[in-house]
Structure 1
Amino acid sequence: MKTYTTYKRLIAKTVILSLLTSLAVALLYGMYIKKRAIDDLARVDARKTSRMAFEALYSAMEKGWSKEELDSIIIRLNKVEPNMRINAYRSPIVAELFGERLQDKQIREHDPMVADAMRGKDILTGDEEIRYLYPIVVKQECLACHTNAKVGDINGVIDVRFPVGNLKISLTTMINSFIIFFVVFTVVIFSILYFRLNSLLVQPLKQFITLIQEIISKNDMAKRVSLKTKILEVKNIESYFNRMLDSIQDYYEKLQELSDRDYLTGLYNRRKFEEFLSYEIKRSVRHGHKFTILMIDLDNFKYINDTYGHASGDLVLKEVTEIFGSNLRNADILARIGGDEFAVILPETPYENGYAVVEKLRSRLETTAISLMFDQITITASFGIAEYPEQGETIESLQTGSDLAMYKAKRAGKNTIARADQSDQEMAAEIQKKGEFLRTAMEEDRFEPFVQSIYNVQTGELYGYEVLARIRDGKRFMAAGQFIEVAESLGLAAKIDQIILTKGLKLREEKGMWDKRFFFNLSTNSLFGGEYIPLIQSHYERNPDLSERTGVTIEILEREAIHNVNGLMDIIEAMKKIGISFALDDFGSGFSSFVYLKYFDTDYVKIDGEFVKNITVNEKDRIFVKHIHQIAQEFGKKTIAEYVEDADTLQILKEIGVDYAQGYHYGRPEPLQ
């Protein structure tokens, strides 16, 4: 098992190691100084001493002193430094002229170093005791007395002996040695600190930063940090950072799943389906094969929602998903692209084979009973088939072809399979006609904003208005339900939203209704387009009394939010910073409603009218409304009840504590007065 050290222990170890290293350096350097003293300083000192002794003796000899007087000088010299001994030995030349001394002759004969020195050799030797033999060479001035000698002869040897401990080191040498030692010591200490901290702390942190940069640049949440270090604190950074990455990756994968998949059924959503369809077209072009796509719309699904409730409708959608999924191949792609609409890609499957697959799906769906509360039901669907490339060579043409085929199956009596052909031009023309009607209405400026009042349930005070789209058609006005589906299918919904938002804000300014909050329904295409943002910002700038009540609220439909949860979260967060609030519309109509409270930072929850309109007679609906309100309160959100059509309903909402309400009891949608 690998062991780790703490940062404090590392510092302590480094200091101790540095201290031991410095002591070792000091010891080695001391030995070096000692050796240098022996090799260099001893020679210099001994030469100086020998020279001084010689000069003293030579001075005496010049005066004609006797040998007894010369011996006396040597004795006095030895007394100057008790531990040092100085001797002078005559050479045979001097002995011949001035007389031999017994001890000199014995030394010359028995001491080989003295004999070598008599031959002119300068000798330095010894470890514990230094011995220096200095030969006295005859010079020209010496010939006056030493008549039997010639220049270059040896007159004698001065023998100097002293212990190593008596060596004297100069102040300069000591200062230089201290400076050198201090420099070496400092270099050693900082080198150890640098390399230890660099290898155990700096390098792991650099590695850590590099890995973070790599994770950010590649957006790779699967990477994990692994640091080469023995420091416990650094290892803890690795551990906690990897745990954080685990949490982020889990959150990211959930968001990615919400972005790519339908939350209720787990199937791919429309956006992901279109990505797969684009890929399959490219693959088919490359390999030259055909494939089939299906558009499936459940028959009479609204009846199930109205009869059994939206929760039961969600259960049916999940059961249908299971039926379709169990009867398709692994390579087939199944997606939920709308409330009760499904789509399938059958790769490398021509029309004939695709038809057999669809018939199998139709038959299994028709004959499979679905348990619903205390009842069992069966459900059917209308299937539209389009083949690549016969019905189209682009995403748009294939989707249009399969949509036309699905509408054809609906018109044929439902629970059928259809393929679009030339005879379907009438249906296509009808859709085109509706589209032209909408475009003409835009060109003629016949879209009008209607408003429906929203009241404070507890005080009875008018709180604000929901702005709704209407088309002026002669003397009548068409409600959004009559054209919004076609507008969405033709990609016109975002333009309609822009028109209604622009006119609604303008009317608010003209009427000076700054003390009431305005609610607008915007499609996801409008939200992601972002063109409404500067419009609302400029509206805010013209507000003479900007406050919490004077703002704008955007309503989000659950069926639209489900297609891009991740992106919608970012939009809500950004828009709230500039004062735009959000409401979650038709809350409770889908299985995933409560999940959106977790992900979307909305300010209001609009309780689906299907729960509200029957609370006076249906105890279960009252329970639903009560708990939706309580949960919204826990999340810090205000509740708005829809479909309030009488005083009894309003009274129950008041008892529950619902914040706001709208419906025919307060008034129908009408032009802003």
Structure 2
Amino acid sequence: MEENEILLPNRKEFLKDLESEVFNKLVIFDISGFGNINHYYGYSFGEKILKLISLRLEDKFIGSKIYYLGADVFAAASCFELSKDRFIQSIKSIIWYFGYTPIELDEYKVYIPLRAGVAINYNELVFSAEFALKQTRVLKHNLVIYDSEQHHINHPNSSSIKEDLYWETQIIQAIKKDKFEIFAQSISNQTDKKYEVLVRMKDEKGKIVSPYFFLERAKKLNLYSEITKKIVQKSFEFFDSKNIEFSINLSISDILEKDVVDYIIQKIYEFDIGHLLTIEITESEGIDNLEEVISFIRIVKSLGVKIAIDDFGTGYSNFSYLVTLQADFIKLDGSIIQDLNKSKTAKAVVEAIVFFAQKVGIKTVAEFVSSKEIFNICKELDIDYFQGYYFDEPKNVKELKLK
């Protein structure tokens, strides 16, 4: 056996396994520009790199079977037991990991940009994943996902197709014609006021559309990251030189998208705005890829950015990772805040969170403060900042009266 031989199952075993129909999820990885590595460093070096890539994939991709399909192509297949959300998050984590963590070999550091085509719940998994991989070049994106439940390819009579096609057209046109608007809502205490940036979209008639109608659909279309970039650009432009702190929302999906991270870091440098910026990470989405998230946080914190954990207090709220993620703020989930005047349990939960936050030096923010009664309870509980309709509703930033 040669030293650099890749020990992963090969294409023949891959096709045999797929025939058994135990898998319903498949990703095919292709290394962008691998030919350049062979030409520059030599084919022997390239073989060593492929071996190290196979070892990394085995180490990072849990719950799936990894294959080497030849040349610079790898695949991972997963069975029904692994949820598709976890499968997709693992793929994004791997793309992020390879893009930011170079392989060090023979005194060289080599970065491995990956493209990935994903197919979920299709009868022809290989064909669908290969087609998705080809689309990465067409769409100039490193990840394309085809999910039969979302794309309705096998359900031409679905009653939801007309609505999906309508919103798909609206989202694509909004991106092409820059029809996204930034709104803002204040976050304040006795002395300070800052703002959370919120996204809205204009439809074909110029009407403002709630994110409820387009954000999840944008994720299905793999266009969510494009919206994130537009919001980053517009919010940075607006708050540039205003010396007012503001926050933007990033999902775990955003943080695991290498091109989104690159874009945000570039814009922080370009506008020199890190000292004014807070990034809110949605806690309820789950953080399975702590290593990548922590790496991102370290990078932006070195640029002066603060970190807030959004919607804390619901789901699987975990106090320990608040410290691990170096959180500066905890945003208390609005559903708990709204119940403060009705539920002793809600009040006890908030008291526990505030007590912990004060001990470790994290500031707290109450969301959805909708009445004077709730506001007074929040003050009694010693919460630091307040946000909600009792103070103001989200407004287009053009309408803000800033000193």
Deviation at 1:581, TM superposition (A): 1.0
1:562 is matched with 287
1:540 is matched with 272
1 CA distance for matches of 2:11 and 2:156? 26
Instruction: Give the % identical residues.
Output: 26
Deviation at 1:664, TM superposition (A): 0.6
- Residues 340 and 374, structure 2, Cα contact 8 Å, conserved in 1: yes
Asked if 1:521 is matched to 2:249, the reply is yes
1 CA distance for matches of 2:11 and 2:217? 26
1:642 to 343, 367, 388: 367
1 CA distance for matches of 2:178 and 2:287? 32
For residues 376-387 of structure 1, the aligned pairs below 5 Å read: 386-387=122-123
Deviation at 1:387, TM superposition (A): 2.3
For residues 92-171 of structure 1, the aligned pairs below 5 Å read: none
2 CA distance for matches of 1:392 and 1:429? 23
1:445 is matched with 178
- Residues 520 and 554, structure 1, Cα contact 8 Å, conserved in 2: yes
1:477 is matched with 208
Indicate how the Cα distance of structure 1 residues 642 and 655 shifts in structure 2: closer, same or farther if over 3 A, else same: same
For residues 26-41 of structure 1, the aligned pairs below 5 Å read: none
1:590 is matched with 315
Q: Which amino acid counterpart does residue 400 of structure 1 have in structure 2?
A: Y
2:393 is matched with 668
Q: Which amino acid counterpart does residue 377 of structure 2 have in structure 1?
A: I
Deviation at 1:498, TM superposition (A): 1.1
1:285 is matched with 15
1 CA distance for matches of 2:228 and 2:285? 14
Runs of 4+ in 1 over 6 A off after TM superposition: 279-282
- Residues 145 and 222, structure 2, Cα contact 8 Å, conserved in 1: no
For residues 453-464 of structure 1, the aligned pairs below 5 Å read: 453-456=186-189, 459=190, 461-464=191-194
- Residues 292 and 385, structure 1, Cα contact 8 Å, conserved in 2: no
* Corresponding residue pairs, total: 294
1 CA distance for matches of 2:380 and 2:331? 17
Indicate how the Cα distance of structure 1 residues 613 and 578 shifts in structure 2: closer, same or farther if over 3 A, else same: same
Deviation at 1:466, TM superposition (A): 0.2
2 CA distance for matches of 1:333 and 1:668? 44
2:113 is matched with none
5+ residue gaps in structure 2?
Answer: 1-8, 26-77, 90-119, 134-143
2:278 is matched with 553
2:355 to 623, 630, 636: 630
Q: Which amino acid counterpart does residue 538 of structure 1 have in structure 2?
A: E
Indicate how the Cα distance of structure 1 residues 391 and 665 shifts in structure 2: closer, same or farther if over 3 A, else same: farther
Indicate how the Cα distance of structure 1 residues 631 and 285 shifts in structure 2: closer, same or farther if over 3 A, else same: same
Deviation at 1:332, TM superposition (A): 4.6
Structure that is richer in strand per residue: 2
2 CA distance for matches of 1:526 and 1:390? 27
Q: Secondary structure at the match of 1:450?
A: strand
2 CA distance for matches of 1:559 and 1:613? 18
For residues 228-243 of structure 1, the aligned pairs below 5 Å read: none
1 CA distance for matches of 2:276 and 2:79? 48
- Residues 404 and 428, structure 1, Cα contact 8 Å, conserved in 2: no
- Residues 23 and 79, structure 2, Cα contact 8 Å, conserved in 1: no
Q: Secondary structure at the match of 2:188?
A: strand
1 CA distance for matches of 2:20 and 2:175? 40
Deviation at 1:535, TM superposition (A): 0.7
Asked if 1:617 is matched to 2:364, the reply is no
Asked if 1:501 is matched to 2:194, the reply is no
Deviation at 1:465, TM superposition (A): 0.2
* More relative contact order, 1 or 2 (CA 8 Å, 6+ apart): 2
2 CA distance for matches of 1:597 and 1:482? 31
2 CA distance for matches of 1:616 and 1:288? 56
2 CA distance for matches of 1:482 and 1:611? 25
TM-score (norm 2): 0.64
For residues 572-591 of structure 1, the aligned pairs below 5 Å read: 572-591=297-316
5+ residue gaps in structure 1?
Answer: 1-278, 296-330, 343-383, 409-419
- Residues 391 and 401, structure 1, Cα contact 8 Å, conserved in 2: no
Indicate how the Cα distance of structure 1 residues 292 and 400 shifts in structure 2: closer, same or farther if over 3 A, else same: farther
2 CA distance for matches of 1:501 and 1:661? 24
Structure that is richer in helix per residue: 1
Indicate how the Cα distance of structure 1 residues 619 and 391 shifts in structure 2: closer, same or farther if over 3 A, else same: farther
1:261 is matched with none
Q: Which amino acid counterpart does residue 522 of structure 1 have in structure 2?
A: L
2:195 to 459, 465, 487: 465
Deviation at 1:470, TM superposition (A): 0.4
Higher Rg: 1
Indicate how the Cα distance of structure 1 residues 644 and 439 shifts in structure 2: closer, same or farther if over 3 A, else same: same
2 CA distance for matches of 1:291 and 1:281? 16
2 CA distance for matches of 1:288 and 1:568? 33
TM-score (norm 1): 0.40
2 CA distance for matches of 1:475 and 1:399? 31
2 CA distance for matches of 1:469 and 1:388? 37
Deviation at 1:432, TM superposition (A): 4.4
1 CA distance for matches of 2:22 and 2:162? 24
1:392 is matched with 128
